[in-house]
Structure 1
């Protein structure tokens, strides 16, 4: 048996002490940080310097690693890659809500125990044959219960199996944030001492210390006790250059120029308010999809037809479809065939725009539409035109247009003004019962 069964470890029997006693532990799975980068790249995992340093420290310090970050940045794949480059077997515990320790640590195989009880019925009869009371028979059988609570009937789950394994393993505890806090407490003994206690049998200590990788999508905060026992690393989406290298390394078949533009589109999608942002693996899937379709240009139509490869929720897909044209061509303009107002500069009407009867006609004074040579609005020229004296003709305020005789402005003499004022006072006085100007 590769594991040791004994009493719980004392304060002097931790992982560091066992590492010192076992010369094979940490003897150099990796020569240095650059060795991690090289060997990971050989199996298709491009690790940056920070990630490679964490993996190297894990192999030398014997500490578990907690990887946190958004879904799809390579956390789970890291554990599989670590197992591949070190030749270790991968054990995986997939966490979920409501999971208990029997699915993570161990449980007793009650079916097997019952079967053995039936097969050994005659032997049990011999054991209790000379007893005279039920109490004596129960006590006699109780003396034999260790035979039924032994390793023969112990069903090991991933945590215990990682400790009992006769060969070195990589233990992946995936999406620990989905599990309840009770499971975190169960993990503490393993993470701190690399051991599992079974009340009926004692404590199993690992002879070959496993590499333990925990992943979290940060859907909830993990306990400080768990984090304290781990090396911590936050994995975020890579830089555009790094993501392009990842796409290239997967041999998707997509031309490099299109792959570069596709990475830019994916990064723009991640900037939207999406329920689930596209992952790195989905970027690779999209690149392979476009390569299979023989796409030669990333048009808005092509991206819209294939966006469902990376967007898995209808709301996200609809939101992306509204913005993909701008992502595919930042310099795109509204087609002239659209019957709508275009306000890219000044005030312009597209073809087909007409004013119905009674609708006001927009008439702009001279110089209000000033443009730069490249077609953009020259703001300084527009402001200068608005400040030019006499920029409005006689028709600006609704008077007859040029060519028609202007209506002479009506002047009001002082006499007419006085009579109007007196008449207004008379109306006011008649309403209050007083004569105008008398005060009575």
Structure 2
């Protein structure tokens, strides 16, 4: 049996984990850094749940960059099955092989069957690829938006999350010599089964408070004027208390700040807000609810509160 590849270095404590994320320009809570450290150090998958746009997927991208590991992403969708997520056989090549064998007559039926169902004809999809360490480095396996899949696919994941292996009936069990770092995300459009959650460390990624969101803007939109960034954060924080179809996430806050900076705005005003709400809100009903007098009212509140804080 071949010796296992020694694991690549992971952060030694929570402080190093937090520093690692910051090196990748990711601003996080101490509690998130703790959950990530435990996941990395104990080799357990990390299940991140939260609203869309709060930075769940970005964590996997940052880890791949800062730990210098390949990122393998499985984007989930309704109807996702084993052939798309794990493996499938290359049927066209198998048919060609059958025709060649028939023409040459140099192989018996059992030998041909053995040849057809060998790794030469196996198409490896993201999960199977992630079980094979590349260049001595276990990859980051991102299973993104798991809540979009069907429950039978969740059941299939249990073997992978527990033992980091998959079973291919024609080949047997394929087990990772060096398990990948697995991150699963969910926008909670439906509940994920407890059996999945029990195999993972769980963390709810919430909207940041105003102080942290401002810090995020300083990192992700560094060209935005400080006063504008403060107004943007205060405005977005107030919007998130409203009854909207889809509240803006951190990603939308960053997009809005970058858009306003591109327009050379130094501060918010009602006309600018009305013209750029599409960068912040993604549903027309929400935009209509906010445009005009409502946006002006919220902006007045923001300015009064900021003036009070400065006094």
TM beyond 0.5: yes
Return the offset for 1:330: 2.0
Larger Rg: 1
Q: 1:235 to 1:58 in 2, by over 3 A?
A: same
| 2:53 counterpart residue number | 72
Aligned length: 301
Separation (CA, whole Å) in 1 of partners of 2:235 and 2:123: 49
Name the counterpart of 2:75.
94
Q: Which runs of 5+ in 1 are unaligned?
A: 5-20, 128-139, 333-440
How far apart are residue 122 of structure 1 and its match?
Answer: 2.7
- Give the Cα–Cα distance (whole angstroms) in 2 for the partners of residues 297 and 192 of structure 1: 52
Q: Which runs of 4+ in 1 moved over 3 A?
A: none
8 Å CA contact 2:72–2:126 kept in 1: the answer is yes
Report the alpha carbon displacement of residue 301 of structure 1 after superposing the two structures with TM. 1.5
Aligned residue for 2:306? none
Structure 2: how far apart are the matches of 1:28 and 1:164? 18
Partner of 1:62: 43
267, 286, 289: which one aligns with 2:237: 267
Structure 1 distance, partners of 2:93, 2:222, is: 50
Tell me what 2:128 maps to: 160
2:251 equivalent among 247, 272, 281: 281
| Alpha-carbon distance between aligned partners in 2 of 1:33 and 1:81, rounded to the nearest angstrom | 16
Aligned-partner Cα distance in 2 for 1:212–1:254: 35
Q: Which has the higher helix share?
A: 2
Aligned to 2:158: 188
Alignment match, 1:149: 117
| Residue matched to 1:24 | 6
CA distance in 2, matches of 1:296, 1:203: 60
Tell me if the contact between 1:28 and 1:60 (Cα under 8 Å) persists in the aligned partners. Answer: no
Residue of structure 1 in register with 2:100 after alignment: 119
Task: Quote the Cα distance in structure 2 between the aligned partners of 1:165 and 1:28.
Answer: 14
Contact 2:78 2:150 in 1 (8 A): yes
Rounded to whole Å, the distance in 2 between the matches of 1:264 and 1:152 is: 57
Contact persistence 2:45–2:184 (CA under 8 A): yes
Give the C-alpha shift of residue 117 in structure 1. 2.2
Distance of aligned partners of 1:247 and 1:122 in 2 relative to their CA distance in 1, 3 Å threshold = same
Contact 1:68 1:218 in 2 (8 A): yes
Alignment-derived partner of residue 86 in structure 2 = 105
Q: Does 1:233 align with 2:203?
A: yes
CA distance in 2, matches of 1:165, 1:198: 18
SS at match of 1:79: helix
Separation in 1, partners of 2:275, 2:181: 43
Cα drift, residue 164 of structure 1 = 2.5
Deviations 1:32-69 (A, max 9, x none): 11111112112211122111111111121100000000
Corresponding residue for residue 323 of structure 1? 294
CA distance in 2 between partners of 1:331 and 1:293 (Å): 21
Q: Answer whether contact 1:164 1:204 (CA < 8 A) is retained.
A: no
Deviations 1:158-210 (A, max 9, x none): 11111124341000000000100011011110000001111100111101210
1:353-372 mapped onto 2 (5 Å cutoff):
none
Corresponding residue number in structure 1 for 2:32: 51
Query: TM-score, with normalisation over the residues of structure 1?
Result: 0.65
Q: Could you tell me how far apart the structure 1 residues matched to 2:169 and 2:81 are?
A: 17
Aligned 8 A contact 2:5 2:177 in 1: no
User: CA 1:117/1:289 → structure 2, altered by over 3 Å: closer, same or farther?
Assistant: same
1:300-339 matched pairs, under 5 angstroms: 300-321=270-291, 322-330=293-301
SS in 1 for 2:141: strand
Deviations 1:315-344 (A, max 9, x none): 010011152111111289xxxxxxxxxxxx
Compared CA separation, residues 331 and 66, structure 1 to 2 (3 A) = closer
**Native 8 Å contact 1:252 1:287 kept in 2:** no
Mapped partners of 1:73, 1:331: distance in 2: 23
Query: In structure 1, how many angstroms separate the alpha carbons of the residues matched to 2:237 and 2:40?
Result: 34
Report the Cα offset of residue 285 of structure 1: 1.1
- Inter-partner Cα distance in structure 2 for 1:251 and 1:283: 10
